[in-house]
Structure 1
Amino acid sequence: MSSGDAFRLDGKVALVTGGASGIGEATCKELARAGASVIVADINREAAERLASTLPHAKAVRMDVTNVESIEAVAATIERLDILVNNAGIAHVGDIAHVEPDDFDRLMTVNVKSVYLVTRTFLPLLLKVRGSIVNIGSVAGQVGIKQRFAYCTTKGAVLAMSRQLAVEYPKELRVNCICPGTVQTPFVEGYLDKYHAHEKEKIRAELNARQPIGRVGKPEEIASLIRYVSSEEAEFMTGSLLAIDGGWTAA
């Protein structure tokens, strides 16, 4: 097998939530490169359409992952689904004393309930083809991180859901969870703008140093792992929590 033949996804249909930016955007590009037909699902329809227009066999859909009607409307337009990447999510900064109930509920809705809603809606299609679900977790679900009470809580739930689904459907589905460290995305830039506008470079240096490798990750590196996990070469992998974090959880 030549390297060009490895981890191919020809004939597969993949849907990526939060697909128009960051890890989602890189994933759409990588899965398309592997031969998949990609559905770019994002709450920002214009951004999704811009990305889809640059990819072969891609289409854009507006999807609010917190809204059942929005998800079902998309599902009604899809006849086949082989790969579901639950990537959409938001962050929050604060310890338990400074996380307001509304903030906590918002994070649980966007980061946890959405994975339930999207997966539940697309489950019948995935079961037809022994599909692959890839949930995007975080090191924040595996270790404690200061000032990330709500975020750690939600990502821990995503890990638990991934394992439960893998055990519930061991022969009918493959379900894996990828756990990135800090990755250079608009997600991170938004965090710096919101919380550290006056000291962005200082905090950026701290984010780099947090990974023993000495830098943050690239969205393309996460996307490459998603491609592998979605491929036939990974058929024996299910229920796995895959750290890709520059050594963070090993330290």
Structure 2
Amino acid sequence: MAGEGADLPVAVVTGANRGIGYEVVRQLADRRHRVVLGSRDLDKGRAAAARLDPGGERVTAVRLDVADAESVAAMADRVTRELGRVDVVVNNAAILYDTWAQARSADLAEVQQALDTNLFGAWRVTQALLPLLRRSSHGRVVMVSSEGGSLHAMSGGTPAYSVSKAALNALTRLLAGELGRDGVLVNAVCPGWVATDMGGRGGRPVAEGAAGVVWAATLPDGGPTGGFFRDGEPLAW
């Protein structure tokens, strides 16, 4: 992870070899962050990092499976040893947009799988990097959520995805309350319906969805915390 700009803020982005995560990495690197690009498949992560930063000075790929505690611990250990700081964590990794399912008949093994990545994955990563975040003078945590997890808007369908995102929103509130004294801002962001592999065709451009995530990742000191946003505007929980 050696390279220029050792004093630049460091961001860790999960699920970042494609889609929204990839674009978040690009935008943060453009804003003079050193970015750790987390990918379950290291070869795909390295290829993505090389496209974004051929010289390897701003973007570094690491193998990161957020559903695997050992993988998360290894990532945190490497970041600690080689960079010694983390200022931004973007919990983007997510799976299972289960449009085929209904809560009344859901496969609970599928629901558990979604929770392990979409909720517990974000929880694991945040806990693992928390010692470094607390040392930062501008710590930021962004949970990439969805309006599908809004209790206000919820009515049925996509049970694994919706429940996992609602739980992620609850975690956002808890962490924001606990980390406020450390100056760490924690927010949930819905990027909207974005044209990605998960979102499918017809959504908004990826760059637009990612911009709202980057907004939360680069909030000024004294900015909002414990909120749920899309494009910088509040959403109902």
For normalisation by structure 1, the TM-score amounts to: 0.80
Quick one: which amino acid aligns to residue 64 of structure 1?
D
Distance change (3 Å), C-alpha of 1:17 and 1:92: same
Moved >4 Å (runs of 4+)? none
Question: Partner residue of 2:75?
Answer: 74
Matches within 5 A, 1:165-176: 165-172=175-182, 173-176=184-187
Question: Greater shift after overlay, 160-169 or 97-106?
Answer: 97-106
Question: Partner residue of 2:206?
Answer: 219
CA distance in 2, matches of 1:145, 1:119: 30
SS at match of 1:25: helix
CA distance in 1, matches of 2:198, 2:132: 30
Higher normalized helix content (fraction of residues) = 1
For normalisation by structure 2, the TM-score amounts to: 0.84
Question: Partner residue of 1:178?
Answer: 189
Question: Greater shift after overlay, 54-63 or 26-35?
Answer: 54-63
Matches within 5 A, 1:1-251: 11-53=8-50, 54-55=52-53, 56-78=57-79, 79-90=84-95, 91-93=97-99, 94-130=101-137, 131-142=139-150, 143-144=153-154, 146-172=156-182, 173-189=184-200, 216-233=203-220, 235-244=222-231
Distance apart, 1:181 and its partner CA? 2.5
Distance apart, 1:65 and its partner CA? 0.2
CA displacement 1:135-193 (0-9 Å, x = unmatched): 0010011121542122111110111111111111113111011013221101123xxxx
**Which structure 1 residue ranges, 5 or more long, are not aligned?**
1-9, 190-203, 209-215
Which has the higher Rg, Structure 1 or Structure 2? 1
CA distance in 2, matches of 1:147, 1:116: 25
Distance change (3 Å), C-alpha of 1:245 and 1:154: farther
CA distance in 1, matches of 2:104, 2:224: 39
Identity of aligned residues (%): 29
Quick one: which amino acid aligns to residue 186 of structure 1?
D
Number of residue pairs aligned between Structure 1 and Structure 2: 216
Distance change (3 Å), C-alpha of 1:51 and 1:160: same
Question: Greater shift after overlay, 153-162 or 177-186?
Answer: 177-186
Quick one: which amino acid aligns to residue 219 of structure 1?
V
Distance apart, 1:113 and its partner CA? 0.9
Distance apart, 1:101 and its partner CA? 1.5
SS at match of 1:170: helix
SS at match of 1:31: helix
CA distance in 2, matches of 1:15, 1:27: 10
RMSD: 2.2
CA distance in 1, matches of 2:22, 2:155: 26
**Which structure 2 residue ranges, 5 or more long, are not aligned?**
1-6
Distance change (3 Å), C-alpha of 1:234 and 1:181: farther
CA distance in 2, matches of 1:141, 1:135: 12
Question: Partner residue of 1:198?
Answer: none
